[in-house]
Structure 1
Amino acid sequence: MFKDISPEELDKVMEKAWQAFPVYRNVSLKDRAGFMKAIAVELEACGDALIQTAMQETNLPEARLRGERARTIFQLNSYAAACERGEWMDIRIDTAVPDKVPPKPDIRKMQTALGPVVVFGASNFPFAYSTAGGDTACALAAGCPVIVKAHQAHAKTSEMVATAILKAAKECNMPEGIFAHVHGAAPSVGEALVKHDYTKAVGFTGSYAGGKQLFDWGSQRKEPIPVFAEMGSVNPVFLLPEKLKGEAAAVAKMYAASITLGVGQFCTNPGIIVGIKGEALERFIETLSEEIKNIPPAKMLHPGIAQGFEEKKRRAISQSAVETIVEVENSDTQESAAAVIASTTAENFMYNPLLQQEVFGPYSIVVQCDDIEEMIAVAKNLEGQLTATLMATPDDILANKELMET
């Protein structure tokens, strides 16, 4: 268990980051890239100890974590290469024309570093969207010091990765304060980080509620700052008539696997499946139900997520005009989750905003439409999403241009 950082300690961390900023932003692109490549090397050098620690903290399997670490190393090296190329600076030079009347001045424009960036990592990706993840890599490539607030669900893992980053920073002679790693389970720590005068941007991956709170704090500052947030999503899937008519069972099996992949703990998990009433949709639902019944409960990342899933799932399936198609029995709702598939009409779905909220875990609701016009209405009723999928044949696409454009 790690102690929350105190306000005094936080001020010191931010002061060091602020002092490091003018030095680091003038470090050459080649040396910045070298630093990021060194982080990738150190992350690999953490070996099995890092994987074992992450397994203990997150309940994620070894193969998944090894793959995620490899992905994180790839991200770091990719950002390093992009950093060194420099196209991201978007340098534009409009040369002077002194003989013109009136004379045209020399105008130059380029992207430049903002300042210290606070990163809040995700619980479901302890490597790729956390301490050395994409937000950290992006900020370092841009010339910004980074302060990571460890996710309490994998604090030890985060600490090990932070140690690797600091080791790389020392080896590459980076300025002190270029990277910091703090702990803080209390919301006040996150608020203090976002509202600190020296914080110039925030990166976040997680729930809508968490991201919206950070956004609000960033907007409420005397000097508002950008909050780059990847938040919760229900990722609707639209089953078009010809596709469903020919492949209902195959599509159902595919989505049973997708809904339960990683115990449903992916931000792109298909939380809403929209189809048109009829024999094909009935076959889809029947096959989906049979497949889901064969998938046993599994431990989630941590008890808080498991309990949150149980609460949100119960709230969703208890709504008026919602039918539970299948709910796998689960004797341990404190740590584990079992898949649930619900169903409702398009009219009820559009009327009830609660049904459009993310239920993070192995859950999806089938929205049954009377016709394609009602399917289009459902699409228009949805808020912005990370993904939207159309299961369609070429003929479906040609026949449903309006849905494609919605």
Structure 2
Amino acid sequence: MIMNDKNLIAGQWVPGDQTFASDAGDFHDGTPDMVAKACEAAEDAFWTYGASSAENRAAFLNAIADEIENRAEDITEVGSLETGLPAARLEGERGRTTGQLRLFASHILKDDYPETRHDPALPDRAPLPRPDLTLIHKPIGPVAIFGASNFPLAFSVAGGDTAAALAAGCPVVVKAHPAHPGTCAIIAEAILAAITSTGQPAGTFSMIHGSGAEVGSALVQHPLIQAVGFTGSHKVGRILFDLCAARPVPIPFFGELGAVNPIFVLPNALANRGETIAEGWAASLTLGAGQFCTNPGVLFVPGGAAGDAFVASAKAALEQIAPQTMLTQGIAQACRAGVAATSDVPGVQTHLSPQSQQRDGVASLLETDLQTWIANPILAEEVFGPHGIIVRTGTDTDMVAAAHALQGQLTVTLQMDEGDAALAKQLLPIAERKAGRVLANGFPTGVEVADAMVHGGPYPASSNFGATSVGALAIRRFLRPVCYQNMQHLL
């Protein structure tokens, strides 16, 4: 196994003065000075890499994918050791990671990429002539990327944010996640190998470890960084967002901050297939120990006997799911604290309360009424883990009121059958305003990497409602339009 324990700065592995421990070994902490050197190297690289052809960038992305596959066994071994994720999950995630690199490579080779617009000159137009106008999207410059805890591959060092920025022509400086530094290091080695084999400037990619806040703060505040991509908690994301906004020259912060991803079970769907929906929800809620940003943590179900039977079915299904190892002991502790805090709210009934220890993730299930849920905002906050709340509603008007009360979400799901169309039509325009993705008769865990996918949503689900961190549209975040007037001869 080849795994470097240092920081990768413009092609060089640089040690730090201090180290921090991981299940994969000890790793060298980065410093603000390393951040400065990485950002300066990225700026130097931008003048070459940002002006390179789409063919060059596509070859680079495909080479990264190849180098990751070349290290497949090491990635699975170290990733399992650090995160507790099973080998099959990591192998699937590796395929997703290389798949999105190849998707972006193919996308930037299309004839209509990047989107351009041209208004030809109209010299004879009256009363005034029109100049020749051409709009072209150009890369913005060096981008800072923060790796995610819950997806050590697909949303980390060579994940969607990095792939999108590199596809756009932007050099990248990655802040490695301290929960899986060994996995980060192997992926960084793969990217460095791709830089060498395809002849990219050394500063096109750097990766810096940071067990505390110092490296991340220095990175988002460095004046050469032009945008930030982040996937993580609302708390940390908001801190970084505020730092970006407080800079002398503010920069965009593209943060995916999580959500409770509500599911509305409409009356006819409940009557016709309530048990099936309950079992499907239990499986989705606990997938990956509930550590997905699309984890459906809140479910709205009508009252009455059918609703009672649904709760019983959900409880029975959740009781059959064995404890799962969570990503870190700290995440497991935070999950237990979130379960305890929501369970203590007056008017909340506890059906399942986890008796977990250390890093175990055990399903919990609460039930409450709509009035209690609306009156207590803590019940609408994400608990990162296998924690579900069923909210009982009365009339169709209650369902509509619940939808209006939602904050911004990554997803909203409608479980509906024939006969539910009228209520669904009332809910749909509200769901469109609340979420980046609206589903019918499915479950939101599982985000397809495709051109039409949107993984984002109104705040607090994400910090920029007009962006997505999954799918080819993600590249647009790191481009800006430039209009060229009477310059066709130079383009």
Please give the secondary structure, in 1, of the residue aligned with 2:94.
Answer: helix
Is the counterpart of residue 223 in structure 1 residue 249 in structure 2? yes
Equivalence for 1:67: 92
> In the alignment, residue 239 of structure 2 is paired with which amino acid?
Q
CA distance in structure 2 between the partners assigned to 1:161 and 1:172 by the alignment: 17
> Which of 107, 127, 135 does residue 133 from structure 2 map onto?
107
Report the more deviating stretch, 252-261 or 50-59. 252-261
- Structure 2 letter corresponding to 1:341: L
Supply the distance in 1 between the matched residues of 2:372 and 2:107 (Cα, whole angstroms).
48
Contact 2:416 2:424 (C-alpha < 8 Å) held by counterparts: no
The 2-side partners of 1:160 and 1:366 are apart by 42
Kindly provide the amino acid, as one letter, of the partner of residue 390 in structure 2.
V
Give the TM-score taking structure 1 as reference length: 0.97
1:250 matches 2:276:
yes
Secondary structure, counterpart of 2:285 in structure 1: helix
| Distance (whole Å) between structure 2 residues aligned to residue 174 and residue 399 of structure 1 | 55
SS at match of 2:342: helix
Residues 44, 400 of structure 1: alpha-carbon distance in 2 compared, 3 angstrom cutoff: closer
Q: Does 1:389 align with 2:402?
A: no
In the TM superposition, residue 86 of structure 1 has moved relative to its aligned partner by 5.5
CA contact under 8 A between 1:327 and 1:340: conserved in structure 2? yes
Partner of 1:270: 296
- Is the 2:32–2:214 contact (alpha carbons within 8 Å) kept by the matching residues of 1? no
Map 1:4-15 onto structure 2 (within 5 A). Answer: 4-15=29-40
**3-state SS in 2 of match to 1:152:** coil
Asked if structure 1 preserves the Cα contact closer than 8 Å seen for 2:61 and 2:101, the reply is yes
Matched with 1:137 is 163
Give the equivalent residue in structure 1 for 2:384: 360
Distance in 1 between the 2:111 and 2:53 partners?
10
Aligned counterparts, 1:273-288, within 5 A: 273-288=299-314
Task: Provide the residue aligned with 1:313 in structure 2.
Answer: 339
SS at match of 2:144: strand
Q: Does the 8 A contact of 2:268 with 2:418 survive in 1?
A: no
Unaligned runs of 5+ in 2: 1-25, 431-491
Q: Distance in 2 between matches of 1:311 and 1:369?
A: 27
TM-score by length of 2: 0.81
Equivalence for 2:399: 375
Alignment of 1:28-177 (within 5 A): 28-85=53-110, 87-101=112-126, 102-177=128-203
Which residue of structure 1 aligns with residue 465 of structure 2? none
Q: Distance in 2 between matches of 1:228 and 1:82?
A: 21
Question: How far 1:251 moved relative to its partner?
Answer: 1.1
Deviations 1:106-131 (A, max 9, x none): 11111110000000111111111111
Percent of pairs with identical residues: 42
State the one-letter code of the partner of 2:153. Answer: F
Q: CA deviation at 1:270?
A: 0.8
What is the CA-CA distance between 1:395 and the residue it aligns to?
1.5
Q: Secondary structure at the match of 2:255?
A: strand
> Which stretch has the larger CA shift, 31-40 or 100-109?
100-109
4+ residue stretches of structure 1 with deviation over 6 A?
Answer: none
What amino acid is aligned across from residue 125 of structure 2 in structure 1?
Answer: K
Query: Residue 400 of structure 1: CA displacement?
Result: 4.1
Measured after TM superposition, the shift of residue 328 of structure 1 is 4.1
Aligned twin of 1:403: 427
1:325 and 2:351 matched: yes
Deviates more, 1:135-144 or 1:317-326: 317-326
* Unaligned residue ranges in structure 1 (runs of 5+): none
Q: Distance in 2 between matches of 1:376 and 1:103?
A: 53
User: Residues 23 and 202 from structure 1, CA distance in 2 versus in 1: closer, same or farther, beyond 3 angstroms?
Assistant: same
Greater percentage in strand: 2
Q: Secondary structure at the match of 1:151?
A: coil
Kindly indicate whether the alpha-carbon contact (under 8 Å) linking 2:299 and 2:390 is maintained by their aligned counterparts in 1.
Answer: yes
Partner of 2:235: 209
Q: 1:213-244: per-residue Cα shift (whole Å, max 9, x none)?
A: 22111111111111111111100000110110
Larger displacement relative to structure 2 (203-212 or 305-314): 203-212
RMSD: 1.1
Counterparts of 2:111 and 2:176 in 1: how far apart (Å)?
A: 30
- Counterpart CA distance in 2 for 1:88 and 1:207 is 33
SS in 2 for 1:394: coil
The 3-state SS of whatever aligns with 1:395 is coil
Aligned to 2:48: 23
Residue 88 of structure 1 and its aligned partner are, at CA, apart by 4.1
Q: Which amino acid aligns with 1:336?
A: D
Deviations 1:360-380 (A, max 9, x none): 100010111121111111110
Equivalent AA in structure 2 for residue 51 of structure 1: T
> How many angstroms apart in 2 are the aligned matches of 1:252 and 1:106?
60
CA shift for structure 1 position 399: 4.2
Q: Which moved more, 1:184-193 or 1:341-350?
A: 184-193
Which segment is superposed worse, 209-218 or 342-351?
Answer: 209-218
Q: Residue 29 of structure 1 contacts residue 86 of structure 1 at CA under 8 Å; is this kept in 2?
A: no
**8 A Cα contact 1:397 1:404, kept in partner:** no
| One-letter amino acid of the counterpart of residue 365, structure 2 | I
| Secondary structure, aligned partner of 2:229 | strand
Larger CA deviation: 202-211 vs 131-140:
202-211
Deviation string, structure 1 residues 86-144 (Cα, Å, up to 9, x no partner): 63421111111122232211111111100000001111111111111110110001000
Give the distance between the partners of 2:424 and 2:164, measured in 1 at CA: 39
Q: Could you tell me whether the CA contact under 8 Å between 2:172 and 2:204 is conserved in 1?
A: yes
Asked whether the equivalents of residues 289 and 325 of structure 1 are also in contact (C-alpha less than 8 Å), the reply is yes
Task: Encode CA deviations 1:259-310: one digit per residue, 9 max, x unaligned.
Answer: 1111111111110010111111100001111111122222101111111111
